[in-house]
Every structure is written in structure tokens, then in C-alpha cells.
Amino acid sequence: MIKRYALGTALVLAIGAPAAQASGEVNLYTYREGKLVAPLVEAFTKETGIKVNVISASSGLEQRIKTEGANSPADVLLTVDLGRLDDAVKAEVTQPIKSEVIDKTIPAQYRDPDGNWTGISMRARVIYASKDRVKQDAITYEELADPKWKGKICIRSGQHIYNNGLFAAYVTKHGEAKAEEWLRGVKANLAQKPSGGDRETARDVAAGKCDLGIGNTYYWALMMNGDPDKKPWAEATKVILPTFAGGGTHVNLSGVILAKNAPNKANAMKLIEWLAGEQAQKIYSDTNYEYPIRAGVAINPTIAGYGKLNADPMPIAKIATNRKAASTLVDKVGFDN
């Protein structure tokens, strides 16, 4: 049974196990929308009998955990971006995830070296290109600054966490000086002031306002398969998996932390390990249109249709160290102005 009711700005879902199967509970704080979390926690409860109490919000959960202090009910924080994972570490609300299952299942580049977080699934930052006006099927991130794209690129705010992750990856790959030069080049190629979200970039490409839009892989799939009103935006565009010159495609993570004062630590670890398992990875793939982080799990056909993902090998934790530098550069070049 799922019960939904408002709690401040949060959405709370109480997902209970049958009494005969009950074996405790776990409190999950999450940045994912409740409807996206529900299939995961329902399957976890069905398999383990552990009741999952979910608090979902769009911002501020790591600060909430910090404010709650030693009495915080939070066991696990499920995030949607490396920025949120990094914010949780900086807020000092994590404790090390010590798990042979996680170490064996999740590649090292998608785990924090100190165990503060682990990735659970992947998404890539890609190009939504006009089918009619863009003939090439390959592009590098570096090429986005090429003057041939002047007035042809649409993007959401450079300070948004998704773009911050991409820009931080560019800093990691090339250094701050070259990243600044690149950002100035990309800004010069913008068709309009950065605005809206990833869906809106596809809309604007479809409308002819720009030829290239920058967005996450799963939004295109959701438009194509889940929203009839937005399906024409996807149909007018194609997804190109860009790469760094001499490297791969930038990927970001959905990930989890084990809360510093988790009152149900044993069940929290069961949930974290379960999220890395085949069943959860399949749900991530088919419900959320994300790339499984566990080897051997089939990629959803829509996402697979983009082509083979060759993820760039740079560690996500290293990218996180350049988030502030990337944000500073966005302001320095006036990217959003």
C-alpha cells in the first residue's frame, strides 16, 4: 500500500510490508520523484519484507539531515546528480559504505574513494540535434565552441547541477584556462539566453530556434515514450553521444549515501546493496531510462538506440572536486547573461 501526503515541501510515501513478513524498516530521503522511486521500493519491500519510509523533495535534503543531527531518522539519501552527492559529503552527513557487494559490483570510478557514496545508475549529458538541419552523427564536447555553431546551440542555465557536472568534467579534462576559453566559445554560439530545462531545449530545436540542444539521455526517452504532447519534440531530434577529444562521453550518476546517524543501519545497507542488484538495475533501466551501472544488465532499447555508450574513464569523485571552479567560470564569462 502506498500513502501520499504533504510534509512541508516534501512528499512522504509509507510503503509497508505484510505483518507476517515484517523485518524492520528503513528511512529513505530522496531527490527522485515519488512516482519514480515507488517501483524500486515496492520491489525491495516485496523481496525483503522491510518497510520503506520515503521522504522526497527537490532540494535541501542534506541540510535537513544536518539540522536533524544525531536524532535524524534518515538512513539513506538517494540523489540524482554528483553535485548532490558532493553536497552531502561537504555537509558531513555521510558515513563510509563498507560493502564487498558494492565494491565488487560498482566500478571504482563510480564510487567515492573514501566510501562516502556510491553510484547506482548512470545518465549521459548529450546532444539533441535537429534531424533536418544537422547531418553529422558524431561530435566532441570541444566542438561546441567551434564558430560553425554560432547562434545554433540551446542550453539550460550554466549553473544548473547537470551543466555544472559537465563543465566540471571539462575543467578536469583540460584545466581551468582552457575550460574558460571553451565556455566563452560555447556562449558565443548560443541561440538564446540559457533557460528552461532539458525538455525545453528539445522543444526549441524542434521549433527551429537552434540546431543543437544539450540534455540528459533519459529526457529524450521520456518525451518519446511517456508524454504524447512532447513526443513531436523527440521525433524532430536525434540523440548524439558526444565525446571528449581522445576520451569518452561524460556521464553523471544517481547515487546513494549512508546517513551519518542512520538508526536502521543494517536495513540501510540491505537497501543500498539491493539497489546495485539485477532487479533494481533493470527497474532503473526500464522505468527511469538510465544506464545500468552493474555489468550484464540489459540497457533499455530506446536508450540503446542512441548507439554504444563509451563512458569517459575519469573518476566522478575527481570531477566533483572541480564543481566550484566550473561554477566560478560560468559567472566569469557571463554564460547565463
Strands (E), 165-318: 212-216, 237-240, 251-259, 291-292
Hey, how many other C-beta atoms are within 10 angstroms of the C-beta on 275? Answer: 26
Q: What's the confidence (pLDDT) of residue 9?
A: 37
In this structure, what are the phi and psi dihedrals at residue 294, rounded to the nearest 5 degrees? -90, 130
Report the candidate in 51, 81, 107 with the shortest Cα–Cα distance to residue 257. 81
Whether the predicted pLDDT of 7 surpasses 60: no
Q: What's the confidence (pLDDT) of residue 21?
A: 38
Domain-wise residue ranges, the chain: 2-122+253-298, 123-249+311-332
Query: pLDDT band at 263, cuts 50/70/90?
Result: very high
Alpha helices in 276-322 (DSSP H): 278-287, 301-304, 316-320
- DSSP secondary structure code for residue 290 in this structure: -
What length is written for the chain?
Answer: 337
Whether the predicted pLDDT of 12 surpasses 50: no
Mean pLDDT of 139-160: 98
Whether the predicted pLDDT of 182 surpasses 70: yes
DSSP string covering 310-325, please? -B--S-HHHHHTTHHH
- Write down the mean pLDDT value for the chain: 92
Instruction: Specify the DSSP element, H or E, that contains 161.
Output: helix 161-174
**% of the chain residues with pLDDT over 70:** 93
Q: What's the confidence (pLDDT) of residue 23?
A: 65
Terminal-to-terminal C-alpha distance of the chain? 48
Report the candidate in 55, 93, 100 with the shortest Cα–Cα distance to residue 71. 93
| Residue 29: strand pairing partners | 55, 77
Q: Give CA–CA dist 168/170, Å, rounded.
A: 5
Mean pLDDT of 38-63: 94
Hey, how many other C-beta atoms are within 10 angstroms of the C-beta on 282? Answer: 16
Max CA pair span of the chain: 66
Q: What's the confidence (pLDDT) of residue 142?
A: 98
pLDDT in tens, 266-306: 999 999 999 999 999 999 999 999 999 999 999 999 999 99
**What pTM value is reported for the model?**
0.91
Domain 123-249+311-332 is in which class? alpha beta
The pairing of beta strand 118-130 with beta strand 94-95 = unpaired
Does this chain's domain 2-122+253-298 share its CATH topology with 123-249+311-332?
yes
Hey, how many other C-beta atoms are within 10 angstroms of the C-beta on 215? Answer: 27
Mean pLDDT of 71-89: 95
Q: What angle do CA 282, 233, 223 make, to 5 degrees?
A: 20
CATH, domain 2-122+253-298, list 2.160.10.10, 3.90.100.10, 3.30.9.10, 3.40.190.10: 3.40.190.10
- DSSP secondary structure code for residue 25 in this structure: E
